[in-house]
Amino acid sequence: MNRRGLTLPEVVVCFGIFSLLSLVALGTLVYGATGFHQVVYQQGSQNDVRRIMAALQRDLASTHHRSITVEKRQSVAGYARDAMALCSLDSWSDPANFDNYLRPRWNCYVVYYASREQNGVNEAGKLVRQVCYPRGTPVGAFEYATFISSPESLIRDGEPLQSDEVRSQILTDRLWKFELVDNPLTQSVSIRLSLRNPPQKRATGIERDLHSIEVLQEIKPANTWPQI
Amino acid sequence: MAELVMAIVLLGMIVTVTVMVFTRMLASTSKTTNQTVGLVFAQRRLEQATQIGPPETPGGPGWGISDPSEVLAEGVYTPDDRLQTTFWNRLTVQSLDERSVMPDGGRKMGDLYRLRVEVYWWASDPDNPQPIVRQGLGVQKVELETIYYYQRMKD
């Protein structure tokens, strides 16, 4: 048994090797954690895009083009944060929502809007879907009068409106651009949707470019009632 | 000394594997991001084509394209918010006329078509863009097709 102990150079070398190994292990851990966060954010954005496009596709395809109103808006930094209203049904599976000829009895309006506030480094806003049941005014396949005359009564930055008449649902809180163009000739709506994730910090402190996902879509309302 | 070498080798292997796993995971997520965007592009192209419909006369303009081999390019901010990625798309139309013939020889009610859209990105040559294959990621393209019936009375 060696009872001599360790010399100072041995201790120094030992500490040096230990520090080196710790650095490598820590670096790998940081790299892994950054990568993992990035993957989680990217997957989240993809899921958000798929979910939002499915909701827009469903609402737009089932409505009548005459009921669509597009409101052009911008954030402080100049990014498109548009809004849109269209007529719809609260339930497409309820027979009471159709007349004897299976024509829809439009009973609500659906409003999509992008809030104009800019949270965080990614200047993110919210995309909100609202279902509105206007009191005392019949819903037809016409434009939403309240949306045109006083949009601020429905659309607001920050927390969306919740009441008996308006039910709001936040679709994403990392919205970058939401641009809508109504095409009267083709009776369709063009959509540009961009989401942007917050930046990831590297060990060196330099922030990476912001990860974004952008899609373009064109949807044509397929319902013809009451304009057959 | 041998133990130390062994430990360093083991650590090196673990680090290499971890870095490889996360690099592969990032690359794979980047591909699925492009696939998601490409798929929406393809749906949009099909929607636009079916809105316009087939040519009125054989060989005339239809489906929103003047040349059947035309490749359209559009740039979107994916996955970088400062640099656009170009997505190329090509629409091919196949007439399925033999399947829309009335069995009793009566008048045809319309025409049947198969529309196929091919969307690809990171193409090698911008002048003659073709889908590419990346090692470990596979082919960088998505395809979407639909069967479209255009109602048109014919003798």
Tokens, residue B112: 């049947």
Best residue in A192, A213, A219, A220 to probe B by mutation, most B CBs within 10 Å? A213
The order of strands in the sheet holding A83-88 is A69-71, A83-88, A108-114, A125-132, A166-183, A188-196, A212-219
B79–A218 C-beta distance less than 8 A: no
Q: pLDDT grade, residue B15 (50/70/90)?
A: confident
For B26, name the nearest residue in chain A, comparing CA atoms only. A39
Q: How far is B39 from chain A (nearest CA, A)?
A: 9
Cross-chain residue pair B47–A188, CB shorter than 8 Å: yes
pLDDT confidence band for A109 (50 / 70 / 90): very high
Nearest to A108 by CA among A134, A128, A83: A134
Residue in B closest to A186 by C-alpha: B51
User: Measured between CB atoms, which of B32, B48, B76 is closest to A46?
Assistant: B32
Tell the burial category of B68 from Cβ atoms under 10 Å away from its Cβ (0-12, 13-18, 19+). exposed
- Per-residue pLDDT tens digits for A19-74: 988 888 888 888 888 888 888 888 999 999 999 999 999 999 999 999 999 999 99
| Model confidence band, residue B5 (pLDDT cutoffs 50, 70, 90) | confident
Out of B7, B15, B81, whose CB is closest to A210? B81
Q: Which of chain A's residues have a Cβ under 8 Å away from the Cβ of B25?
A: 35-36, 39
Do the Cβ atoms of A214 and B76 come within 8 Å?
A: yes
Residues of B in contact with A211 (CB under 8 A): 79-81
Q: ipTM score of the complex?
A: 0.80
Residue among A28, A42, A212 minimizing CB distance to B29: A42
pLDDT tens sequence across A156-173: 888 899 998 999 999 999
Closest residue of chain B to A35, computed from CA coordinates: B22
Compute the average pLDDT of residues A166-181.
95
Distance CA B71, CA B63 (A): 13
Instruction: Report the interhelical angle of B2-52 vs A8-61 (nearest 10°).
Output: 10
Neighbours of B43 (CB within 10 A): 20
* A28 contacts B18? CB cut-off 8 A: yes
Are the CB atoms for A159 and A202 separated by under 8 Å?
A: no
Mark which residues 47-106 of B lie under 8 Å from A by CB: 47-48, 51, 74, 76-83
Contact A217 B40 (CB under 8 A): yes
DSSP tag of B34: H
A15–B contact, CB cutoff 8 A: no
Selecting from A25, A45, A210 the residue whose C-beta is nearest the C-beta of B11 gives A25
Mean pLDDT of chain B: 85
pLDDT at B103: 65
- Write the DSSP symbol of residue B80: B
Burial A174-192 (b: 16+ CB within 10 A, else e): bbbbbbbeeeeeeebbbbb
Asked whether the predicted pLDDT for residue A206 surpasses 60, the reply is: no
Sort out which chain B residues have CB atoms less than 8 A from A42's CB and list them.
29-30, 33, 79
Task: Please report residues of A whose CB lies closer than 8 A to that of B44.
Answer: 216-218
- Inter-chain CB proximity A209 and B25 less than 8 Å: no
The pTM of the full predicted model, rounded to 2 decimals, is 0.85
Q: CA-CA-CA-CA torsion for B45, B51, B57, B60, nearest 10 degrees?
A: -40
The answer to whether A94 faces chain B, any CB pair under 8 Å, is no
